[in-house]
Structure 1
Amino acid sequence: MRWFCFASPLRRDAARQRHVAAWALWAVLAAGGISSAHGETGGCAASTPARGLPQPVLCLQRAKIDAGDEAPNALFARAKAQLEAGHLEEAERSLDCADAVIGEDGDARLRYELVRRRGILDFRREWIPQALSRFECAVTLSTALGDRAATARDLSNLGAALRRLGDFRGALRSLTASLDIQRGTGQVSGAVLNNIADVYRELRQTDTAMRYYHDALAFYRGKGEPIEAAHVLETMAEVALDTGDARQASAWLQEALAAYRTGGNRVYELRVHDGLTRVALAQGDIAQAQRWTAGALALADTWKLPLPPALQLQIARTAQLSGRTAAAATRLREALASVPAGDPMRVSLLEQLATAQERAGDAVAANATLRDAHAKAIALADAQHDRQLDWLRVRFESAEQQRTIAALESENRLRRAEFRQRTLLLWFAIAVAVAAMLGFWLLQQRRRQREGLREQARRVRYEEELARYRREADALAEDRSLLQALLDSRDDALCLLDADGQLLAINRAGRLWLGYSDNEALVGQPVSTFVGEAGRAALSSALERMEDSAAQRLEIPAREGAPLIAKLEPWSGGDGLVLLGPLDREQVAAPVIASADAVVDGPVNTFADTDLAAGHVHEAGDDSGESSMRDAFRRTLVELMLASVDAWERATGTGRLEFAEKSRIWRVNIDDGRLRARALERYLSLSKLPRNPRWRDVLRSAYFVLGRGEELPAETRALLQSRVDAVLAYTRRDALV
């Protein structure tokens, strides 16, 4: 049986670069005489699982195996079949049963076989450090048994584990030792040749790797093992495809597929479909790729087989290249849901999903997916690097302990005179350590006491602030009640609206005017809900014109009863707020300027465009100064809005339409089938700026951009804040507040 795994190029290159730091530690290990591939390890025993071993009788009954001397071998054969079928948990249970049947003092050869098979299981689970320890133990046991063929096989497994950890020199050393033993006995194994080829492939020596692959292929064909020969053909096809020889890769994969079909191995047949799809896509033959993916799906459906993640990736690539981007994205998401978190295939699946999202026009999701793929690739490289360092550190510590023990045993008599002195030094070190720990504990206690006092002070301040906020909230509630009572005391109806027509305040007369009782809560609702269906369009059109109008009057069909003859005028406080109320009696006799059946573009017979109509009364001679100040204020508003939009586009890479949608301050309209933020665009040009600008919304927009945090550069943030301060300086003046 051969052991190999293909890592993604990103993970392999990153691990190779990060592994440079581990070579220094490996040099120390080699200089210290650490045992490598020849089994010169210390104690060796098969570890008991953390969950314990089952009862031998019960587990044999569940496995339907008769108790006797052949029971362990039958369990080993059962575990091998389960492992080849991919049922790792069932294979572990079979090995646990074999461990219980063999016992602690069982036959040495059976204990060796158990250790070896547990190592193979750990290898399949990607628990490489654990598998390495078991393979080293197996080398020691097989050497003690004098079984050179078993030692050569264990050295081959050991080399495969070292290769997975990135120790290619150690892997070649173990595999070469295994090959020398096999050549000495005249029984060369194809697995060793294949593993040596894998190592040379990792070292990017393709010609040497292919030479060993051809030797392994010839061996398996000579031994009449078509399945193992097909495995080698798959690997050779991978190498050929990496070097750009897609035609040769296709020929080898077709040969492997025929061998798997003859042997009835459907799992391996699915894997070959993955390779053949890759080859077809590399040749640009999308139709052929579709045929291979369709065959793979039919095979998996017929035999109820799970689709490997690599095959899912090729199916998605084929669907995407065929123009079915949505189907490709769905396939990739399903594959990601079934792939474990630490599987290297997640990186490739995420990268392909990002490509599908980009083609679908979702650039934001594509960028997020690419970032996720990059983060997972780095995490995989870090995990491999950490495993390598952990393994080397454990080996280093173990070697140092063994060397120390050997030195103490050889120099025991010479060091007896120094033992007492070392004991005294040890006690002194312990006393110093205890004193240091006591001092550290006292320091921590003092620090905790100070933290407790600070926390108590913070709690007191928090409670005081909370009480003050509650008092202020009660005062505000009382003020609001007084304000509402004051408004209700007025005989004339009064309704205050925002620029979008939301009702902000209304008195009793206003509620009665709209046809509602006193106890109905109307604040916060759109005013269009209080009029008839025919009057909503006129009211909406009039509200849109209020930014450029001094006042308007219109007739609005009510929901019930006579039409409402109303006037709209800007609030004297500015910010685009609108006062809605009935016309005075002397004004009712005048012709109504707008109605539900007559709505025209632009201001419709507005009141006189004077400060008096807008609610402003000024002394004579101040008009020119106020006009100049208002012009400066309008320019400052436009500059602030332009700076806010520019900062947003630079920070997020999106446009003003996304800015309007995200901030929820500006309305997005549909014009001729296109989305536009017309209200926002009017604030980007001084010539288009409304007469009654909504300056508070401009400030809210700037604050929304400033809330982006670290996305804004310091100079951009400072510039935007300076423009905000300039607008606030104008709004604090009585003429604009």
Structure 2
Amino acid sequence: MDSRICVLLLAFAAAVASPGEALSGTFPHCDEPVAPLAPPDPTICLSRNEVASPVAATGQALQGLFARTEEHVAAGRFDAASDALACADAIAGAAPAFRYEVVRRFGILEFRRERIPQALRHFHCAAEMAAASGDPVAQARDLKNVGAALRRLGDFQGALQALTTSLTMQRAAGAVSGAVLNNLADVYRDLDEPRPALQYYREALKWYQDNGEKTEAAHVLESMAEASLDAADAAQADAWLQEALATYRAEKNRVYELRVHDGLARAALAQGDLARARHWSASALAIAADGALPLPPALQRQIARTERLSGRPDAAIAQLRSALGSAVDDDPERVPLWEELAAAQTDAGEHAAANDSLRRANGEAREVSRAQHHRQLDWLRIRFETAERDRTIAALESENRARTLQLWGLVVSGLAAILGLWLLFERRRQRHRLEAEARRVRLEEELARYRREADALAEDRNLLKSLLDSRDDAACLLDAEGQILVCNRAACRLIGVDADQLTGQSMTAYLDAGDGAASETVFERMEDSTTQTLELATRDGARVAARITQWPGGGGRLVMELAPRSDVAAAAEVTPLDTGESDGDDMRQAFRVALVDLMLAAIEAWESATASNRIELAEKSRIWRVNIDDGRLRARAMERYLSVAKLPQNPRWRDVLRTAYYVLGQCAGMTAESRARLQGRVDVVLGFTRRDAMV
């Protein structure tokens, strides 16, 4: 039985427990994500939005993001504003107060983007959240926004109901706002009811004036003037517009001044006063030129209309074409601009062009109507889905109540069985998850330990340099391949190279070309000898005597002591390892066998886990040198550790251990059995190396 059936059974049980209570519906999309995309990382998105507040200071960070959102919206950067709000949503989390503000601001953003159905969804959600938190003032504000969105969708009755409810709640709370009064007036004006529209406009005007909001009061005067112009009362419209203009001039708001000039020119034309219309047109052009402001399309239409009625259709045509060129594609003002252009072209005798302009006007009017229709359909779809959901819930509730007495026992027993099976299943899943997590943690700990132990086999170069610098003679510590691990100051001076340049390089690189090959042969023989002396020449021609000995710590490290040629005897000398019988022969032989077994096991594990060969192991680990013999790659040094008979007398046991640790640390796909077998051989070798005789 899947999870949906479980949900239905739980809903049935709840209905049975309280059969007299109706199921409470919520807006259908309130449980959907607020942001349109996956939530971003809070730290990254705060940095991207240039908000300095830390994520921990939630309120402070949100205020910074809200301020950034308002800046983006004011500049028309809606995608950036959406990104800032998505960041705020990620920071707010499930905190009701913070999430409410994010939802409300998303609605405002969608409203500004002309995505009215999406804005309405957010406004409804915000209203429900405000109601759930017991905040009537916030709920009334959100219902006002709902009304504004419904008005844009053409649902005037729904808008009137939402706004009336908002006003009633505000009056009950003693906090009536001018915005809800102004919105109610706009709805009544759309419903062609001028009397209540003017009544609410006057109330809104008085509220703004009483609260000292002069700019908002001027906006209301503009709306009242438009209503008067629609009612053919141009004289009253002109008086209100003059009052609004005086307010904008006092506040030096040039943008709003330009907007008022549109209404003033329209009022003058309505009264047949062309001289006054030309005055307002010239004044608007002067303000725009002085402030480098764009002319609103509606104002440009009135200017062109004034030119046309003044007998200058060509000037009107030029003005209208400029307006159409600057207006955005979805601007509803484009339709009257095309119609005015057709009228101007007709007056200019361009009848074919006028017909074309009328066709463009009709086409764009259809597009505007189609867009409005699509918005209404989106909202109707949401309402339909809501109604269907409520109908389904009501049907299920009725059916559940009818079958209460018959199915009560069945439901309880079924729920108990399902719960038991679910608990059993979850317990098994939890156990498996814990076992898998424990295995993963153990594997990660083992890999980390292997890498630490591999690193621990490499000497601390700073310590070694300090030890060598304490010596008066020139000395270098090399690995078995002749790579320089560290040189003291005396050796650097003798070779004539800085210490930082020597470290990690091959010693042969600083010798004469002829001596380089000889020194490589000496390094290869050191695995079977204790001391070698030879004469070398540096790159600058200086002759030096070199004495190469095994590092007391073993593991294939070499000490090269250098001296000027005059200080050391000229003859080359090789001292082989003492292979005579001793008490430690059995233990040494066992150690050599264990070392070969470890190398073979490491190669086998590597080849099994990676499906590659030992040459690739040598190349990737950088522990063993790869040579080219007869045109094919070989790791001669590594191959000597694959047989006890070929194993050097002074084996590089540290490099063998490093190889095993490299395989254990890098081959995560090894089987547990293979890993345990290789670790066992590592432990055997470590057991030998911990004895004084082997170290």
- TM-score where L is the length of structure 1: 0.48
Pairwise CA distance, 1:53: 5.5
Corresponding letter in the other structure for 1:408: L
Q: Which residue of 286, 289, 302 maps to 1:301?
A: 289
Q: Which residue of 2 aligns with 1:181?
A: 169
Partner secondary structure for residue 307 of structure 1: coil
Q: Which stretch shifts more, 275-284 or 88-97?
A: 88-97
Q: Structure 1 residue 392: deviation in Å?
A: 1.5
Tell me how far apart the structure 1 counterparts of residues 285 and 106 of structure 2 sit (CA, whole Å): 34
Aligned to 1:259: 247
Give the distance between the partners of 1:284 and 1:202, measured in 2 at CA.
Answer: 27
CA contact (8 A) 2:35 2:85 kept: no
- The 3-state SS of whatever aligns with 2:302 is helix
* CA displacement at 1:131 relative to structure 2: 1.3
Question: Are positions 1:224 and 2:216 aligned together?
Answer: no
- Matched position secondary structure for 2:165: helix
Cα offsets for 1:390-414 (capped at 9, x unmatched): 3223311332123213422553586
Aligned to 1:694: none
Cα pair 1:39 1:137 within 8 Å, conserved:
no
- Is this contact kept in 2: 1:142–1:148, CA < 8 A? yes
1:158 match: 146
**Cα drift, residue 283 of structure 1:** 2.0
Say if 1:366 and 1:251 are closer, same or farther in 2 by CA, change over 3 A: same
Match of 2:300 in 1: 312
Structure 1 segment 552-701 matched on structure 2, within 5 A: none
Give the 5 Å matches for 1:185-584. 185-409=173-397, 411-412=399-400
1-structure distance, mates of 2:288, 2:187: 33
Three-state SS of the structure 2 residue aligned to 1:288 is: helix
- Alignment match, 2:129: 141
* AA at the equivalent of 2:61: A
Secondary structure in 1 matching 2:329: coil
In the alignment of these two chains, the number of paired residues is: 380
| Unpaired stretches in structure 1, ≥5 consecutive residues | 1-34, 419-737
- SS in structure 2 of the partner of residue 70 of structure 1: helix
**1:371-407: CA deviations, max 9, x gaps?**
2212322332233234323322331133212321342
* CA-to-aligned-CA distance 1:665-718 (integer Å, 9 cap, x gap): xxxxxxxxxxxxxxxxxxxxxxxxxxxxxxxxxxxxxxxxxxxxxxxxxxxxxx
| SS at structure 2 position matched to 1:134 | helix
What's the offset of the Cα at 1:254?
Answer: 1.8
Task: Provide closer, same or farther for how the CA distance between residues 45 and 269 of structure 1 changes in structure 2, counting only shifts above 3 A.
Answer: farther
- Counterpart in the other structure of 1:73: 63
Distance in 2 (alpha carbons) for counterparts of 1:333 and 1:96: 40
* Change beyond 3 A, Cα 1:141–1:48: closer
Q: Distance in 1 between matches of 2:252 and 2:80?
A: 22
Change (3 A) 1:90 1:254: farther
Task: State the distance in 1 between where 2:263 and 2:146 align.
Answer: 28
Amino acid at match of 2:96: A
CA shift digits 1:277-320 (9 cap, x unpaired): 21122222223222322332333333333322112211221222
Matched, 1:114 2:89: no
How far did residue 43 of structure 1 move?
4.7
- Is this contact kept in 1: 2:35–2:89, CA < 8 A? no
**Partner Cα separation in structure 2 for residue 74 and residue 263 of structure 1:** 28
Aligned partner of residue 216 in structure 2, secondary structure: helix
1:44 aligned partner: 30
Change (3 A) 1:284 1:413: closer
d(CA) in 2 for partners of 1:212 and 1:413?
A: 48
Q: Quick one: distance in 2 between partners of 1:39 and 1:155?
A: 17
Deviation at 1:40, TM superposition (A): 4.6
CA distance in 1, matches of 2:43, 2:310: 57
Cα displacement string for residues 214-252 of structure 1 (whole angstroms, at most 9, x for unaligned residues): 001001111111111111111001011111221211121
Distance 1:85 1:266 in 2: 17
Residues 415-465 of structure 1: per-residue CA shift (max 9 Å, x gap):
7999xxxxxxxxxxxxxxxxxxxxxxxxxxxxxxxxxxxxxxxxxxxxxxx
1:138 shift after superposition: 0.9
Correspondent of 1:96 among 79, 86, 90: 86
1:560 maps to none
Q: Secondary structure at the match of 2:70?
A: helix
Tell me, in whole angstroms, the C-alpha distance in 2 between the residues paired with 1:340 and 1:264: 27
The 1:158/1:53 distance shift into structure 2, 3 A limit, reads same
Gaps of 5+ in 2: 1-21, 408-695
What code does the residue aligned with 1:41 have?
A: F
Q: What's the secondary structure of 2:192's corresponding residue?
A: coil
Query: 1:75-108 CA deviation, whole Å, 9 max, x = no partner?
Result: 3234335545655455434433433433x33x21
1:276, 1:189 → 2: CA distance? 28
Q: How far 1:261 sits from its partner (Å)? A: 2.8
> Letter of the aligned partner of 1:142 in structure 2?
A
Cα contact 1:112–1:142 (8 A) shared by 2: yes
Distance 1:358 1:39 in 2: 59
Query: In 1, are the aligned partners of 2:25 and 2:390 still within 8 Å (CA)?
Result: no
Contact 2:68 2:81 (8 Å CA) reproduced: yes
Q: How far 1:197 sits from its partner (Å)?
A: 0.9
Tell me, yes or no, if the aligned pair for 2:27 and 2:386 is still in contact at 8 Å.
no
When Rg is computed on C-alpha atoms for both structures, the one with the higher figure is 2
Partner amino acid for 1:109? Answer: A
The amino acid across from 2:369 in the alignment is A
Measure the CA separation in 2 of the matches of 1:145 and 1:131: 21
SS in 1 for 2:339: helix
Is the alpha carbon distance of 1:232 and 1:46 closer, same or farther for their aligned partners in structure 2, counting shifts above 3 Å? farther
- For residues 89 and 42 of structure 1, the distance between their equivalents in structure 2, rounded to whole angstroms, comes to 25
The answer (yes or no) to whether the contact 1:175–1:195 under 8 Å persists in 2 is yes
The secondary structure found in structure 2 opposite 1:411 is helix
Residue aligning to 1:723: none
Q: Structure 1 residues 251 and 121, CA, compared in 2 at 3 Å: closer, same or farther?
A: same
1:286 to 1:52, Cα distance in 2 relative to 1, 3 A? farther
Matched residue type, 2:276: Q
- Shifted more, 288-297 versus 176-185: the winner is 288-297
Q: Is the 8 A contact 1:39 1:136 kept in 2?
A: no
Question: Using the alignment, how far apart are the partners of 2:81 and 2:277 within structure 1?
Answer: 35
- CA–CA separation in structure 2 for the residues paired with 1:372 and 1:329: 15
Return the offset for 1:64.
Answer: 4.2
Are the counterparts in 1 of residues 339 and 361 from structure 2 also a CA contact under 8 Å?
A: yes
The secondary structure found in structure 2 opposite 1:166 is coil
Question: 1:338-374 CA deviation, whole Å, 9 max, x = no partner?
Answer: 3233322111010011111111211011112112212
